């Protein structure tokens, strides 16, 4: 008859390894259960804000130096409604080329400027006639170039004097450029002829 040897108690290494495996599996399944709400927690979803927290070239959370997402919408004068104007509307994005921003960075900053202008008009009037006309005509956007912050601020002042929405985006400085840098000026949406009074002399980006 074969002699079965007594192996003795399990070693400390085996106990630690088994405990780690059990703990890891338990934690994984607990997290999965919580994510679908079995423990009363909220479902974990990836929001646009979370996606923007990536410190990447294409998507960033650097549009504004303000901690509150609504603080990047500045109150800059009285907006005209341009009631009765049936002309096609557009939004112009004036980009500073002297900063040396990469194409991905420029795209992200233009996105911030577009949203800031949109929120400005919605706050003024959720049914703003210019906003509705812009949406009906395909939300036209034109990217133009400018070579300095000083020139950009002059354009902003001109736009405001005409009753146009004009929002400057300031970067938080987490990747490519200095904190507080004015990167993009969004003007509009507004009738094309009105915006061209301000930006008609600028070149395409």
Spell out the domain ranges in the chain.
Answer: 11-45, 57-199
Tens digit of each residue's pLDDT (9 = 90 or more) over 105-114: 999 999 999 9
Which phi and psi (to 5°) does residue 104 adopt?
-65, -40
57-199 placed in CATH 3.40.1490.10: yes
Confidence (pTM): 0.66
Chain mean position to CA 147? 23
How far apart are alpha carbons 194 and 47 in whole angstroms? 36
Q: pLDDT per residue over 130-167, tens digit each?
A: 998 999 989 999 999 999 999 999 999 999 999 999 99
- In angstroms, the CA 99 to CA 151 distance is 13
Q: Could you tell me if 115 and 71 are in contact, meaning their C-beta atoms sit under 8 angstroms apart?
A: no
3-state secondary structure (DSSP) of residue 23? helix
| Both structure tokens of 137 | 């005509």
């Amino acid at each position: 008859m074969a002699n079965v040897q007594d192996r003795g108690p399990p070693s400390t290494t085996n106990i630690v390894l088994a405990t780690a495996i059990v703990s890891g599996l338990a934690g994984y399944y607990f997290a999965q259960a919580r994510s679908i709400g079995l423990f009363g927690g909220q479902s974990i979803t990836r929001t646009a804000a979370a996606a923007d927290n990536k410190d990447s070239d294409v998507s960033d959370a650097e549009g504004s130096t303000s901690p509150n997402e609504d603080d990047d919408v500045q109150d800059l004068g009285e907006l005209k409604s341009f009631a009765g104007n049936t002309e096609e509307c557009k939004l112009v994005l004036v980009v500073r080329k002297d900063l040396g921003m990469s194409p991905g960075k420029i795209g992200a900053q233009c996105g911030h400027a577009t949203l800031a202008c949109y929120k400005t008009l919605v706050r003024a009037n959720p049914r703003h006639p210019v906003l509705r006309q812009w949406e009906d005509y395909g939300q036209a956007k034109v990217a133009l170039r400018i070579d300095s912050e000083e020139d950009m601020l002059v354009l902003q002042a001109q736009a405001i004097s005409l009753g146009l929405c004009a929002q400057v985006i300031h970067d938080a400085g987490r990747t490519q450029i200095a904190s507080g840098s004015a990167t993009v000026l969004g003007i509009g949406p507004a009738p094309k002829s009105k915006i061209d009074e301000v930006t008609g002399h600028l070149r395409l980006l």
